[in-house]
Amino acid sequence: MSEVNGRPIVGEICLRKKRRKRQKKLLKQLFQDYARNTTLHGLRYTTENGLHIIEKIFWLMTFTVSVALSFYLISKVWTKWTTSPVIVSFAEKHVFVHKVPFPAITICPAVKFLQSNFNYTKVQHSLDFVNQSLTVDNETLETANALNLVCDVPMMPEIGPTVDSTTIYRLFNVSVDTSDIIKSCLLGATDCEDSFKRVLTDDGICFTFNGITPQYILNMDNIQQEFNYSYITEEIRNWTVADGYIDSNDDAYPHRGQESGERPYLSLWLDDLEEEKDKLCNAVFTGYKIYLHHPSEWPQALSYYFAALPQQVSSMAIKFTMVTTSDDLKSVALNVRQCYFPDERPLKYFKIYTYNHCRLECLTNYTYESCQCVSFHMPFNDSTKICSGDRQYCAVKTNFLFSMKGSNHMKKCQCLPACNYIQYDAEIHKTIYNLEDFEEAQSRYFKAQNIVYEQERAKDAKVEIFFKEPMFMAVHRSELFGVTDFLGICGGLLGLFLGFSFLSIVEIFYFLTFRVYKTIKTDLKNEKLEKPAELFHVDSFHEKKT
């Protein structure tokens, strides 16, 4: 290559220049060939011979605008797919009530204890606040302080900032029992007085029907074992939280929902307990608070409740909202999906994730951080850190601050609804239920017959609970469109503006790879055949010149 002062190198440079020029021409011809044969609309007019330059420019601009417009619309579809991929719609089929559990019913009486069993007012009057001396024994005082946890306005002097499990045992021992409040209960045609079990809530000792044992709800390894939060012992049968009822077997627990017939599915007669009310502890409210919740949800005394008052019939027509979510949404970001799938958000104190469980656990942690103790009803890992006295007021204040809109601590918890859940609600209708005149007439009749008759239900509260309809609409959360839908929309837009299809992609790939490779390879092969003669011609030219 350097035989004559590098002159052959000059020949190589010339060959490279000629090669580039020649290959550009070949690629131009290849593009013209593609434009003539492609299925894309309008592109062939940009290179067709015989057309005026203005016509070619017109078709080039039209093709460019079509490409730009189609990609602009595709970008809009992409943005919608990435930011709002979820659609909530009604399910295709109704859900019959026998497919879902009858709701758990939690009843909280306004009277927390019987004055005949413990006279809170008398104990308070026995205290000499002026001389700070006590005229009652320590056991009685500690029981009164246990009742401070559930009194409308606590009156007893505090015995310390915190209490332990002993106080909770005293609270359970002195509180009303099922037999004190429920005079009669009918589930269909079956007596159900014993189906109500005591549970610990923010409203004190309440009674839950159709709840499940805490072993299925609470993480018992992370919960203190000194006292029970719930005395529900009924085991789950033929039912799971995730899949519902396994078969059509009626021997299932929780109880199935039932269509409303001639009689309410659940009927309750509740004692008014007015004569047992302690005026210093529970004089503010009367009657009962009734809460509806899912059987797998921990009983809580929330602000939303139904009231059952003496001498009234409270007819509760239940309705429910069922929300299900497609598994395809698991790949969607949480901040877009706005719900948790099972096992996606583990909780410390609860096995089952629900929004209310997450919120209660979050409130428990926040209360402990703020007050160094927790409210008596909160599942916790330390039975000696139960707020009392001033700490109890701290817990109430913390609850208020936590519930305020925009609470930073609530935001940190990231409590979102579960992706699949059932929420119960009810329409309540009230009518007068006054048995005094009837029982008075009965009393006179039996007296005339020399039969002893005791009036028992003159001031009862009656509660009737049943499903409003035999079936309800469900709500389904799913993808607005998936990958297949996205590709279909993109293909439709490209086909509309360009006549584009999958074969168009194959065609472009074919011309950019196989045809380009074959054209370049053929050109290089022809160049090798012509190269020796050209180099000889260049060398001879330089020799003659010298």
Would you state the pLDDT for residue 2?
A: 45
List pLDDT tens digits, range 263-292.
899 999 999 888 888 888 887 888 999 999
Q: What is the pLDDT of residue 131?
A: 47
pLDDT reported for residue 541: 46
DSSP conformation class of 462? E
Q: Which pLDDT score is estimated for 85?
A: 82
Q: Give me the pLDDT at residue 455, please.
A: 54
Q: Which amino acid is at 69?
A: L
Q: Higher confidence at residue 6 or residue 511? A: 511
Measured distance CA(239)–CA(246) in Å, rounded: 6
pLDDT digits (tens, 9 = 90+) for 32-65: 888 888 878 888 888 888 788 898 899 889 989 9
Predicted local confidence at residue 134, as pLDDT: 58
pLDDT tens-place string over residues 476-505: 998 887 778 888 888 899 888 888 888 888
CATH H-level, domain 90-479: superfamily: Acid-sensing ion channels like domains (2.60.470.10)
Token digits of residue 483 = 């990958």
Give Cβ neighbours of residue 143 (< 8 Å, ≥ 6 apart). Answer: 118, 170, 174
Higher pLDDT, 173 or 544: 173
**pLDDT of 439:** 63
Higher pLDDT, 107 or 336: 107
Amino acid letter, residue 132: Q
- Kindly tell me if the per-residue pLDDT of 223 is higher than 80: yes
- Choose between 17 and 534: higher pLDDT: 17
Residue 72, judged by CB atoms within 10 A of its CB (0-12, 13-18, 19+), counts as: exposed
Measured over the CA atoms of residue 528, residue 530, residue 536 and residue 540, the dihedral's sign is negative
Q: Is residue 167 a contact partner of residue 375, using CB atoms and an 8 Å limit?
A: no
pLDDT per residue as tens digits for the range 228-248: 999 999 999 999 998 899 887
Q: What is the mean pLDDT of the chain?
A: 85
Which pLDDT score, from 0 to 100, does residue 451 have? 56
Q: Is the pLDDT of residue 323 over 50?
A: yes
String of b and e for 502-512 (b: at least 16 CB within 10 Å)?
eebeebeeebe
Give me the mean pLDDT over the 392-410 stretch.
Answer: 82
- If you average pLDDT over residues 153-164, what whole number do you get? 72
**Whole-angstrom distance, CA of residue 418 vs CA of residue 242:** 11
Tokens of 150: 């559930």
Q: Phi and psi dihedrals of 426, rounded to 5?
A: -155, 150
**327, 420 Cβ separation under 8 angstroms:** no
The predicted model gives 537-544 an average pLDDT of 48
| Residue 466 CB neighbour total at 10 angstroms | 21
Q: What is the pLDDT of residue 531?
A: 60
42 phi-psi bin (left φ>0, alpha ψ -120 to 50, beta other) = left
Assess contact for 520 and 527: CB atoms under 8 A. no
- Give the residue extent of every domain in the chain: 1-39+513-546, 42-84+487-500, 90-479
pLDDT-based confidence at 9, cuts 50/70/90? low
Phi, psi of 55 (to 5 degrees): -65, -40
pLDDT of residue 458: 61
Q: Residue 347 — very low, low, confident or very high, per pLDDT cuts 50/70/90?
A: very high
Query: In terms of pLDDT, which residue wins out, 460 or 96?
Result: 96
